[in-house]
């Protein structure tokens, strides 16, 4: 249709209401949606009947006199909206309102201690080169530092694996091969000259394709953006490359960061390719699990690191909100988006996180506080909570999680039952939808959302449209409840040093994404179908080091993270 078609001259509000029978509120919805597709200048003025019907959408009821009094203001507001839509707001423009996850009277740790890692000095090049696919960053770093292998050799090795298995797993959107080989050559030259930068120097990695990289497409996994180029390098990419790491691939993600379906198909789980790898950091988790990259960068708004790390059997870190710059990253929810690493094991998370954390002078949501990590941890000296009511439920991972708790007890942990704050967490989850709808407002109003692969009710195109009817007052009040949640979580976290939680059961995943708390998820067994399961460690704000160390201690006592899928079975 032509955007100048005078639709309201053909179908007036009254005519729509009569067509819809008693469901006059449907007329309001239709009229609102036409505002997305037709010239705003053709819209008729709001009248009392329009207001009365609209009241049903937001659960309010006014008198006829009050409706009449509102008309001038409502029509003025509508004109404001029309004028605002003339301003080009691309996805990179943030709102002037910044989310603050810091509770009242929060005590910051401002002392930076020396970071210590495990000893990898006994690492030797394997007899079977294929074993390199599942070496940790620490082991690969020692091989490169001691010149048992070059960055160019290991980069070519992983590029070949990406070419071989990537198409079968649908986990790669773009190979950055030319760029990677140049970076690897540079790393080899620097190392040969004695300019070793640290454990990431010469190590290949992949990123979720919502991070911008110059000269390569940044598709956001969505058909409308399939050929999009963004002329900058995301801060995370810059920091990793400054540390000497080598970008080799832009990995698949659920379209606009939902699920594991993108315009190229469904990203597969290497453990069972009949299943998806969950989302939305689908390709990052699948590629790491399959040994196609030593590590990858993912993002989380509500489970997008935790979930794919779980089903793919890898270790994931969701840092504290405000720890890692989102400059150059697709925005979904400005107050909930977080960027973190997906790795082979917990200590690798610390190695990568130390490189990507910190301010960049652009992202105004960032905090600059110490990251203290030491693999030596004494559980007996820690107050460790656990969500007893959630662990006691009958859920999919129950058996493996129960055994994980027993392992922690054997390591010296005295687990104390705790309960999360009693507030309507799920009822305020629409905060995400409201922000996401704003981030992709132009996509919705232009009708280009029709190009998205998933067009079911429970997918972004429909959610974006429905979110248009979330009142600003309700959004603000939801965030006021979120403020209370932050304060109550601070009270809880003052009673423990960390706590453990089922990865999916209960409200913990959503709640801690709303409050901005960090978590580490690591494998703790396998389901009856043979796919991995996981357990989650939740830490205090900015205390990633301690939960990474706890997760490492758990992994040292188990071997789930050392297992990997048999890629010969991938069809």
Average pLDDT, the chain: 93
Q: State pLDDT tens for residues 78-99.
A: 999 999 999 999 999 999 999 9
Of residues 22 and 277, more confidently modeled: 277
Amino acid 435: pLDDT: 98
Amino acid 19: pLDDT: 31
* Contact present, 281 and 300 (Cβ < 8 Å): yes
- For residue 458, count other CB atoms closer than 10 A to its CB: 9
- Predicted model pTM: 0.92
Span 28-34, mean pLDDT? 41
**Tokens found for residue 32:** 């609102």
3-state secondary structure 60-73: CCCCHHHHHHHHHH
Q: Which domains does the chain show, CATH number per domain?
A: 1-87 (no CATH), 129-363+372-423+476-563 (3.90.1300.10)
Torsion sign (Cα): 264, 266, 269, 270: negative
Span 216-240, mean pLDDT? 98
Burial grade of 48 (CB within 10 A; 0-12, 13-18, 19 or more): middle
Q: Which residue has the tokens 């789980």?
A: 269
- Res. 39 pLDDT band, cuts 50 70 90: very low
Distance (Å, whole) CA 435 – CA 426: 16
- For residue 210, count other CB atoms closer than 10 A to its CB: 30
Residues 19-26: contacts with CB under 8 Å, at least 24 apart: 24/49, 24/52, 24/53, 25/53, 25/54, 25/56, 25/57
* Contact present, 161 and 292 (Cβ < 8 Å): yes
Predicted confidence (pLDDT) at residue 349 exceeds the cutoff of 80: yes
Range from 107-111, 129-133, 532-536, 562-566 carrying the lowest mean pLDDT: 107-111
Span 400-414, mean pLDDT? 98
Amino acid 405: pLDDT: 98
Of residues 364 and 24, more confidently modeled: 364
* Contact present, 246 and 152 (Cβ < 8 Å): no
- Res. 13 pLDDT band, cuts 50 70 90: very low
Amino acid 8: pLDDT: 32
Q: Which residue has the tokens 């009242």?
A: 104
Q: State pLDDT tens for residues 417-460.
A: 999 999 999 999 999 999 999 999 999 999 999 999 999 999 99
Span 385-390, mean pLDDT? 98
Predicted confidence (pLDDT) at residue 35 exceeds the cutoff of 70: no
Span 370-379, mean pLDDT? 97
Q: Which residues pair with 499 in a beta bridge?
A: 385, 538
Amino acid 44: pLDDT: 84
Predicted confidence (pLDDT) at residue 558 exceeds the cutoff of 90: yes
Range from 29-38, 218-227, 268-277, 463-472 carrying the lowest mean pLDDT: 29-38
Q: Which residue has the tokens 């989380």?
A: 300
**Nearest-CA neighbor of 207 among 342, 332, 89, 298?**
298
Q: What is the DSSP string of 29-54?
A: HHHHHHHHHS-GGGPPPP-HHHHHHH
Share of the chain above pLDDT 70, in %: 92
Amino acid 42: pLDDT: 55
Amino acid 571: pLDDT: 61
């Amino acid at each position: 249709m032509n955007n100048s078609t005078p639709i309201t001259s053909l179908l007036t509000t009254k005519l729509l209401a009569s067509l819809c029978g008693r469901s006059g509120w449907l007329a309001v919805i239709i009229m609102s949606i036409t505002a997305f597709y037709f010239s705003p200048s053709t819209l008729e003025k709001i009248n009392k009947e329009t207001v009365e019907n609209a009241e049903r959408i937001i659960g309010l009821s006014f008198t006829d006199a009050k409706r009449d009094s509102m008309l001038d203001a409502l029509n003025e507001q509508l004109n404001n909206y029309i004028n605002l839509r003339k301003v080009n707001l691309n996805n990179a423009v943030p709102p002037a309102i910044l989310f603050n996850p810091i509770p009242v009277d929060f005590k910051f740790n401002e002392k930076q201690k020396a970071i210590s890692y495990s000893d990898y000095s006994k690492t030797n090049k394997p007899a079977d080169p294929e074993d390199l696919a599942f070496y940790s960053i620490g082991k690969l770093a020692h091989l490169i530092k001691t010149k048992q292998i070059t960055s160019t050799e290991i980069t070519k090795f992983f590029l070949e694996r990406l070419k071989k298995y990537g198409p079968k797993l649908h986990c790669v959107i773009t190979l950055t091969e030319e760029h990677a080989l140049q970076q690897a050559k540079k790393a080899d030259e620097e190392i040969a000259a004695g300019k070793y930068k640290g454990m990431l120097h010469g190590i290949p990695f992949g990123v979720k394709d919502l991070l911008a990289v110059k000269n390569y497409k940044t598709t956001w996994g969505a058909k409308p953006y399939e050929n999009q180029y963004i002329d900058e390098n995301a801060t995370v990419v810059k920091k990793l490359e400054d540390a000497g790491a080598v970008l080799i691939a832009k990995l698949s993600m659920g379209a606009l960061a939902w699920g594991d379906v993108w315009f190229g198909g469904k990203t597969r789980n290497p453990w069972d390719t009949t299943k998806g790898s969950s989302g939305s950091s689908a390709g990052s988790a699948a590629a790491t699990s399959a040994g196609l990259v030593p590590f990858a960068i993912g993002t989380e708004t509500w489970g997008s690191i935790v979930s794919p790390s779980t089903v793919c059997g890898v270790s994931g870190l969701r840092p504290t909100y405000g720890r890692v710059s989102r400059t150059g990253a697709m925005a979904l929810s400005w107050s909930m988006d977080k960027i973190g690493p997906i790795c082979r094991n917990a200590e690798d998370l610390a190695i990568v996180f130390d490189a990507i954390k910190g301010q960049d002078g652009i992202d105004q949501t960032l905090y600059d506080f110490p990251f203290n990590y030491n693999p030596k941890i004494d559980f007996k000296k820690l107050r460790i909570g656990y969500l007893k009511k959630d662990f006691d439920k009958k859920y999919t991972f129950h058996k493996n999680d129960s055994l994980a708790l027993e392992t922690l007890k054997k390591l010296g942990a005295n687990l104390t039952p705790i309960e999360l704050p009693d507030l309507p967490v799920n009822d305020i989850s629409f905060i995400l939808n409201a922000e996401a709808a704003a981030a992709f407002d132009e996509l919705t109003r232009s009708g280009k959302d029709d190009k998205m692969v998933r067009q079911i009710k429970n997918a972004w195109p429909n959610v974006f449209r429905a979110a248009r009817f979330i009142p600003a007052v309700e959004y603000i009040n939801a965030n006021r409840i979120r403020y209370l949640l932050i304060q109550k979580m601070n009270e809880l976290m003052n009673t423990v040093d960390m706590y453990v939680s089922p990865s999916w059961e209960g409200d913990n995943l959503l709640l801690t994404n709303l409050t901005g708390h960090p978590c580490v998820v690591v494998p703790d067994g396998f389901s009856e179908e043979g796919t991995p399961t996981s357990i989650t460690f939740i830490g205090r704000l900015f205390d990633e080091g301690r939960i990474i160390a706890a997760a490492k201690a758990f992994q040292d006592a188990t071997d789930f993270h050392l297992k990997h899928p048999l890629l010969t079975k991938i069809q």
